[in-house]
Amino acid sequence: MRDAENEPAEGKRKAETVWGIYRLNHQMSRYVFELYYKKKELSREVYDYCIKEKWADAALIAKWKKAGYERLCCV
Q: What are the pLDDT tens digits along the chain (75 aa)? A: 677 667 777 787 877 888 888 889 999 999 999 999 999 999 999 999 999 999 999 999 999 999 888 888 776
Local structure of residue 22 (DSSP, 8 states): H
pLDDT of 59 reads 94
Closest to 57 measured CA to CA, from 15, 37, 27: 27
pLDDT of 1 reads 67
pLDDT of 49 reads 98
Write the single-letter amino acid at 27.
Answer: Q
Backbone angles phi, psi at 56, to 5 degrees: -130, 150
In whole angstroms, give the CA distance from residue 56 to residue 7: 22
